[in-house]
Structure 1
Amino acid sequence: MFNLVRRDVILQKRQLLIFIPFIMFFVIMESHPALTFLVASIFIPFNAFAYDEKAETNILLNSLPYTRKEIIASRYIGAIIYMVLAIGVASVALFVSNTSYTITDIAIGLFLLFSAFTFPLFYIFKPGYIFYVVLVSFLLLAGIGPSVVIFLAENLTAMTDFINSLSIPVIYTGAAVVVMFFYVASWRITTTIYQRKTF
C-alpha cells in the first residue's frame, strides 16, 4: 500500500520542482503563516487527485493487486505523510525568511478538515471539474473564512464565553477529537463510495 503513496511523489516529480518556489511566493508575499502551511500541505495530495482525473488512473489502479480499501487508505495516509513533510519544508522557508510563527499557525486541523470534506468529492463528481471546484472553494474559504469566524465570535457571545472559559489543553484536545472524527468519517465514506463505483 505504501507503494501507492510513493507513486504520487514519483508521478509528480516535475510539479515538485515548483513546490519550494510556490511556498516561497507565499512567504515573500508575507501571507499569514497559517495560510502558508495550509497551502504547502494541500500541494501534493491535491495535485495527485488532479493528475488522476486527467489520466483516468483509477482504471489502472483497479487492475493492480490492491483492494479498493487499500487504494483509498493510501490517499488518506499519504495526505498525512505529505502534510508532515510539507510542514517541515514550510517551517524551513519561514525560518530562512525570518518570519515568526507559532504552533497554532501550522494549521494541521485546517488541512485535515479541508481534506475530510473534499476527498469524497473526487469520487462523487465527474472527473475534469471537481479539481477546479475544490480550488475555488479553497480560495473562497481562505478569503472569507477569517471574517466568518470573527463574525460568529462577536455574535455568538454565549459560545465564545464558554470556549474562553476552557483551558488551552481542553480546547486543543477537543479540537483534535473533532478533526479526527471528521477525517476518519470521511475516510469511511470515501471507501464506501469507491467500492461501489464502476470503472
Structure 2
Amino acid sequence: MTNLIRRDLIIQKSQLYLFIPCILFFIFAGTHLPAFFIFVFAGFFIPINAYSYDEKAETNILLNSLPYTRTQIIASRYIGAIFYMAVSIGIAIVLFSLFNRAFTWADIGIGIGITLTLFAIAFPLFYLLKPGHIGTAIVIGFVLVVVLSQVTMTFLEEHLTSIVQFLSSASTPALYISSAGIIIMLYTASWLFSQMIYQRKAF
C-alpha cells in the first residue's frame, strides 16, 4: 500500500514544480487572505491533483489489475491524503516563517480542519459521479472560494451573528476538541462511503 501512496507523488512530478511558486504567490499577493486559506490550498494540492490525474487517465482500470484489494486502494487514498496534507502544510509553514508572513496555530488547525472536510466531501464524488472533469471543477471551485473569501466572511458576520457569538463564548479547548471529533467522524464516514461505492464499481 505504501507504493500506492508514493505513486500519487510520482505521477505528478511536473505539477509539483508549481507547488512552492503557488504558495509564494499566495503569501505575497494574498495578503488580504487569512493564513488558513493558504494552508488549505497547500494541503489540497497534491491529493486532489492525484485524483484528477487518475480520473482523466482512467487509472482505476490499471490499479484493479495489480495485486491490491479495493480496500487497500481506497485506504491508500485516504491515508495518503493525510500524509501529503501534513507534508505540504509543513512546507507552507516554513515558507511563512522564511518570508515573515504572520500566522497562528489556530490558522494551522483551521486549515487542517477545512482541508480534511473538503477531502471528505470531494473524494466520494470521484467514485460516485462519471469520470470527466470533476477534479477540474473542484479546483476551480476552491479558487473561487478563495477569491470570494472576503465577501463570504462579511456575509457570515452579518447573517450568522448568533452562531459566531456562540462559538466565541465557547472555550477554545472544547471548541477544538469538538471540531476535531466531528471532522474525524466525517472523514471516517467518507472513507467507508467511498469504499462501499468502489467495491460495487465495475472497471
The answer, yes or no, to whether TM exceeds 0.5 is yes
> Bigger shift: 92-101 or 151-160?
151-160
Q: Which residue of 1 aligns with 2:130?
A: 126
Q: Which residue of 2 aligns with 1:17?
A: 17
3-state secondary structure, aligned to 1:141: helix
Q: Which residue of 2 aligns with 1:26?
A: 26
RMSD (Å) for aligned C-alpha atoms:
1.7
TM-score by length of 2: 0.90
In the TM superposition, what whole-angstrom CA distance separates every residue of 1:4-61 from its partner, at most 9, and x where no partner exists?
0011111222221222112111112134321211111111101101111121110010
**1:28–1:155 Cα change, 3 Å:** closer
**C-alpha distance in structure 1 between counterparts of 2:149 and 2:17, whole Å:** 30
> Bigger shift: 175-184 or 147-156?
147-156
TM-score by length of 1: 0.92
Say whether residues 1:54 and 2:56 are aligned partners: yes
Query: 4+ runs of 1 displaced by more than 2 Å?
Result: 139-165
Say whether residues 1:135 and 2:165 are aligned partners: no
Give the letter for the 1:57 counterpart.
T
**C-alpha distance in structure 2 between counterparts of 1:25 and 1:139, whole Å:** 13
Say whether residues 1:159 and 2:159 are aligned partners: no
Equivalent positions of 1:174-189 (< 5 A) are 174-189=178-193
Equivalent positions of 1:59-138 (< 5 A) are 59-106=61-108, 107-138=111-142
- Structure 2 unaligned residues grouped into runs of 5+: none
Deviation, structure 1 residue 105:
1.4
Alignment coverage as a number of residue pairs: 199
Deviation, structure 1 residue 165:
2.3
Equivalent positions of 1:33-44 (< 5 A) are 33-44=35-46
**1:138–1:60 Cα change, 3 Å:** same
- Structure 1 unaligned residues grouped into runs of 5+: none
**C-alpha distance in structure 1 between counterparts of 2:68 and 2:147, whole Å:** 39
% identical aligned pairs:
49
